[in-house]
């Protein structure tokens, strides 16, 4: 089976996130979501934003077997991640992001 593709989107989207983010994985199982906020990221110099986004992408790629969807909204300094329903994985991913980007804060998971 082909692993899901991890795409970190940085573009402003024309439709609401609830319309773009998947609700099920390729096996039809309901995904689990979490949000991470990066306080002040949009106000950082462009080089710092690029470093941070590369680091987020690197971390999400490590979990490409689990991550189904990810979107970074720079206007809100918010990362939305949808994952396959594997116990503890969303916390592992959030911890990896926090370890690499200390300003990152887990906002919520559901």
Strands 32-37 and 8-9: unpaired
Mean pLDDT (the chain) is: 86
- Domain 22-109 fold: Alpha-Beta Plaits (3.30.70)
The mean per-residue pLDDT over the stretch 21-27 comes to: 87
So what's the pLDDT on residue 108? 72
- For the cut 80, the answer to whether the pLDDT of residue 7 exceeds it is no
pLDDT digits (tens, 9 = 90+) for 74-85: 989 999 999 999
> pLDDT, tens digit, for every residue of 46-88?
999 999 999 999 999 999 999 999 999 998 999 999 999 999 8
Domain ranges within the chain, ordered by starting residue: 22-109
* Cα 66 from chain centre: 11
**Cβ(96)–Cβ(104) below 8 Å:** no
């Amino acid at each position: 089976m082909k692993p899901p593709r991890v795409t970190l989107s940085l573009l402003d989207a024309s439709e609401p996130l609830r319309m773009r983010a998947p609700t099920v994985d390729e096996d039809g199982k309901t995904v689990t979501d979490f949000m991470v906020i990066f306080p002040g990221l949009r106000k950082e110099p462009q080089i710092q934003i690029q470093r941070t986004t590369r680091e987020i992408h690197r971390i999400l790629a490590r979990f490409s077997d689990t991550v189904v969807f990810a979107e970074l909204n720079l206007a809100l300094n918010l990362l939305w991640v949808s994952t396959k329903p594997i116990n503890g994985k969303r916390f592992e991913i959030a911890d990896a992001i926090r370890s690499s980007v200390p300003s990152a804060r887990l906002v919520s998971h559901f």
